[in-house]
Amino acid sequence: MLHREVKRHLQRWCDRVGEFEALAITGADLEVFQETLIADAHALMYVKKHITSVRAMFNKGVKMGWLPSGFQPFATVESIRLDPKPLLEGDLPTDAEVKALFLAAKPKPMLHAIVSVYHATQCRKP
């Protein structure tokens, strides 16, 4: 996510939650925030991005030592599950794109080997 997108998510969090001590935040606060975004008719993917940004902010606080070690106010909050997007024919690389990829990887044997394995096994990034 872009920095300004995360900043917008966190600003929306601050606007909704108000001014609380970080240690006073609970999983219920995140659940209410999530429900509010859903009630405002935001797409689930958009809501999930907000929740990810808020969780990351608190995790960073713990990692940096700004919050107590092991502080996990959102440990009990269920993550939003999204239906997987179907892989369509148009999402796959064309023959020309595959040839260009192999050509670009040829000068680097290790990269060429990795591309070959991906192509031969039809691996896809999740």
**Could you tell me the residue ranges of all domains in the chain?**
3-63, 89-121
What is the number of other CB atoms lying within 10 angstroms of the CB of residue 57? 14
pLDDT one digit per residue (tens) for the chain, 126 residues: 588 999 999 999 999 888 888 999 999 999 999 999 999 999 999 999 999 999 999 999 999 999 999 999 999 998 888 888 887 888 888 889 989 999 999 999 999 999 889 888 877 665
What is the number of other CB atoms lying within 10 angstroms of the CB of residue 19? 5
Q: Taking the alpha carbons of 9, 13, 54, 51 in that order, is the dihedral positive or negative?
A: negative
Query: How far is Cα 49 from Cα 9, in angstroms, rounded to an integer?
Result: 8
Is the entire prediction scored with pTM above 0.85?
no
